Structure 1
Amino acid sequence: MTTTYRPAAPAPAPARPRLVTRPLLLRLVSMLGSSIGFYLPLSVVPLFARESGSDRAAGLATVALLLATVACELVTPRLVALVGYRWALGLGLVLLGAPTVVLTVTDAPAAILAVCLVRGAGFAICTVAGGALTATLIPPQRRSEGLALVGTVAGGSSLLALPAGVWAADRWGYTPVFLATTILTLLALVVIPGLPRRVAAAGASAHRGLLAGLRRPALIRPATIFAAVTAAVGVLVTFLPLATSDQPAWVAAAALLAQPAAATAASWLTGRVADRVGPARFLTPALILAAAGMATLALIGTPAAVIGGALVFGAGFGMLSNTTLSLMYGREPAGNESTVSAIWNTAYDLGMAAGALAAGLIVTSAGYPLTFLLTAAAILPALLLSTQER
């Protein structure tokens, strides 16, 4: 009898874990509420403050918002450990949305800054607690892709909300923008009961984890690279509408639309590839794109250059937002999601605040074009750090 050799059939490839689940969908709804609550009035409040007669409050509005955000981000991991994701997210949405209604009845500089401070605390809770929860809902094998999906939702909302706020304020005034911010943010509370109630480690260990994370170069390098570009975001969203105020309103609105549109698309495309080739490969080209785009904004008298610069800058920013966060989550064990979320979001908001503050100090004497060029130059040292991530 002749025995015929038949090679064994190859083992089937393991099925990829499901990415989109009901908890993740509910989380995306809550993220949509917080993103709209943050971005819709972001460029409107400085305009509102300047029209009220306080140029100083116009510059300090974004700084106050972001400094409060940074301060609260560092303690949010402990809050999550104490009360859980649901209560933390609910509190964050209330603090982010409700205070904006105050601006419908007063334009006092002190009131504007107080509203920004409270909103900053709310946004900090939403981003850190929400980011940590989101990380637990994404399979590690599809981390970059999952973060790209999340970034698309956040970017899509900012894509609409940031320019829509400026356009609506110009067309209908400030009160409708502030009322819409409050209503749309608080509506997201309806999904909170459907989110997981898992909590992080005990408060003390969570706090020690954050401090330990701040001493880890493997986390701080990507966070610092990201902060170099978010500083430029702070300059763009605060001063671009002011720099183009002598042009038609659509110029600033189109640029503020182009930046998050490009960021969303770049984040999505990067995430689709980064799980296979590694996210670190994208750091250097992303920084180059961001610097080039910011330098182009110096041509403020040319609408095409302003919009094109915002588009190129947004592409670099989107690539970095996905890759730096993916790198950081990949370097921490499960259970430390709040630590990574707090450090990354602190880099985001501290960078934005530093950029807005520094630009506010020099823009009067330097002018807008030179301020944008200096902002582009400030991105370039981060290239040295990006070479260490390869």
Structure 2
Amino acid sequence: MSSVCEVPAATTPVITRLVTAQFAQLLAMVFGSGLSMYLLTSVVPLYLAANGSGGVGAGLSTGAMMLSAVATELVIPKLIARIGYRGTLGLGLVLLGAPSLLLMLTASLPLVLAVCVVRGAGLAVLVVGAVALVAEITPSHRRGEGFGIYGIAVGVPAVIGLPLGVYLIEGLGFGGLFVLAAIASLAGLAALPGLPKRSTEAEEQHVKVLGGLRGSGLLMPTFVFAAVTVAAGISVTFLPLAVAGDNHSLVAAALLVQAATAPVARWLAGRFGDRLGPVKLLAPALVLAALGAGSLIFITSPVAIVVGAAFFGTGFGAGQNLTLAIMYDRVPKTRYGQVSALWNLAYDGGWGIGAIVFGAVVAGTGYSLAFGLTAAVVALAIVPAVKASP
């Protein structure tokens, strides 16, 4: 005979592990590919400038890479559906790393731009595939934090690569850096066996990148983020050229500060965004980014450059996480690949277009006014972010 009162068994809260073995493999891979990218991000413009191509060539190199990425990103969801995550990411690693070796042959602008185009395609394949995979293998209630950890894995190479690339020019020379960039990307091939072969959602292949955007809630975060990436591409490309006196130490310090604050802000934005809602935090992040971009108006002040780098890095890093989280919160899983491609279109399109336009504008305006116009673009993005905030 059962007792009158039965005490229910104690329930233990289920703790969902965030960094699984698959996630760790992915983080290792994106670390190497990120290092490959950032080692050369500021070095290639200097390489061209040292060989007579000047500011226009520097802008074209960054623009070519990023606009190539934009064009490629439109087909990545279909590529993932056809050859799976492993094949897609492996292709990206090869395209990003191997062409770096060709830069050792000549500093001819056409060849450098061709290399940048191929590397841009590789970058697109990697970032779209990796972001979609993060969304798929992390729990939905901890997705913002998962993006934050991914952001650290991508951001730490920027912390290392941006200043280190500039600093090592004197020691290794341009050729040594090109070899190092190739190795960093190709080494990521070793991490591929631990990743999932394919997406769990076969329906995803039917969703076009630019399809069904009206009323989806994706346009606001896409355009807001694009405005911030305009400033990011400009600062990384032109800061080494704008600082007077060939002061590589100051440039390296500013790039280090910007690169170090971004992943920390990206992780914190993910943690607090999961709790408070990412929309509430977006406008403050944009304010910081606009202040940081505006500080470069005072390009002759080392303090303004370094402090501005900290402000911009914080706003940029937070904006990366918040816009991505907003977009994934607004779509079903069948559109994860579309969101990843769309967000990366904003990232690479803003970065590339900003560098190209800035390179053309700065010749007539000078650096201070051109940087001021850049800050105005970021400031305008605050308006839709405030309107979207509850």
User: Under a length normalisation based on structure 1, what TM-score does the superposition of the two structures give?
Assistant: 0.94
Asked whether the equivalents of residues 299 and 306 of structure 1 are also in contact (C-alpha less than 8 Å), the reply is yes
Distance in 2 (CA, whole Å) between partners of 1:191 and 1:341 is 21
Provide the secondary structure at the position in 1 that maps to 2:333. Answer: coil
Q: Equivalent residues in 2 for 1:32-47 (5 A)?
A: 32-47=31-46
1:308 and 2:307 correspond:
yes
Q: Which amino acid aligns with 1:194?
A: G
Match of 1:179 in 2: 179
How far apart are 1:172 and its partner, in Å? Answer: 2.9
Q: Equivalent residues in 2 for 1:201-212 (5 A)?
A: 206=205, 208-212=207-211
Asked whether the equivalents of residues 58 and 359 of structure 2 are also in contact (C-alpha less than 8 Å), the reply is no
Deviations 1:196-235 (A, max 9, x none): 11236559x6353423244344111111111110000011
Q: Aligned in 2, Cα 1:20/1:53: closer, same or farther, shift over 3 Å? A: same
Match of 2:109 in 1: 109
How far apart are 1:248 and its partner, in Å? Answer: 2.3
Match of 1:122 in 2: 122
1:159 and 2:159 correspond:
yes
Match of 2:15 in 1: 16
Identical pairs, percent: 44
Provide the secondary structure at the position in 2 that maps to 1:28. Answer: helix
1:255 and 2:276 correspond:
no
Distance in 1 (CA, whole Å) between partners of 2:144 and 2:367 is 36
Provide the secondary structure at the position in 1 that maps to 2:297. Answer: coil
Moved more, 77-86 or 241-250: 241-250
Deviations 1:94-132 (A, max 9, x none): 000000000112111110000000000000000111111
Distance in 1 (CA, whole Å) between partners of 2:199 and 2:317 is 29
User: Under a length normalisation based on structure 2, what TM-score does the superposition of the two structures give?
Assistant: 0.94
Distance in 2 (CA, whole Å) between partners of 1:209 and 1:331 is 16
Deviations 1:211-263 (A, max 9, x none): 32443441111111111100000110111010014152110001111111111
Distance in 2 (CA, whole Å) between partners of 1:127 and 1:244 is 31
Provide the secondary structure at the position in 1 that maps to 2:299. Answer: coil
Asked whether the equivalents of residues 77 and 207 of structure 1 are also in contact (C-alpha less than 8 Å), the reply is no
Q: Equivalent residues in 2 for 1:50-89 (5 A)?
A: 50-55=49-54, 56-89=56-89
Q: Which amino acid aligns with 1:165?
A: G
Asked whether the equivalents of residues 200 and 335 of structure 1 are also in contact (C-alpha less than 8 Å), the reply is no
Asked whether the equivalents of residues 223 and 346 of structure 2 are also in contact (C-alpha less than 8 Å), the reply is yes
Match of 2:381 in 1: 382
Q: Aligned in 2, Cα 1:136/1:302: closer, same or farther, shift over 3 Å? A: same
How far apart are 1:5 and its partner, in Å? Answer: 10
Q: Which amino acid aligns with 1:373?
A: G
Structure 1 unmatched ranges of 5 or more: none
Moved more, 241-250 or 123-132: 241-250
Q: State the superposition RMSD in angstroms.
A: 1.9
Distance in 2 (CA, whole Å) between partners of 1:215 and 1:168 is 47
Asked whether the equivalents of residues 63 and 356 of structure 1 are also in contact (C-alpha less than 8 Å), the reply is yes
Q: Which amino acid aligns with 1:120?
A: G
Q: Aligned in 2, Cα 1:175/1:336: closer, same or farther, shift over 3 Å? A: same
Distance in 2 (CA, whole Å) between partners of 1:215 and 1:114 is 35
Match of 1:238 in 2: 237
Distance in 2 (CA, whole Å) between partners of 1:289 and 1:130 is 27
Asked whether the equivalents of residues 296 and 305 of structure 1 are also in contact (C-alpha less than 8 Å), the reply is yes
Q: Aligned in 2, Cα 1:174/1:201: closer, same or farther, shift over 3 Å? A: same
How far apart are 1:272 and its partner, in Å? Answer: 1.7
Distance in 1 (CA, whole Å) between partners of 2:58 and 2:214 is 35
Distance in 2 (CA, whole Å) between partners of 1:217 and 1:170 is 50
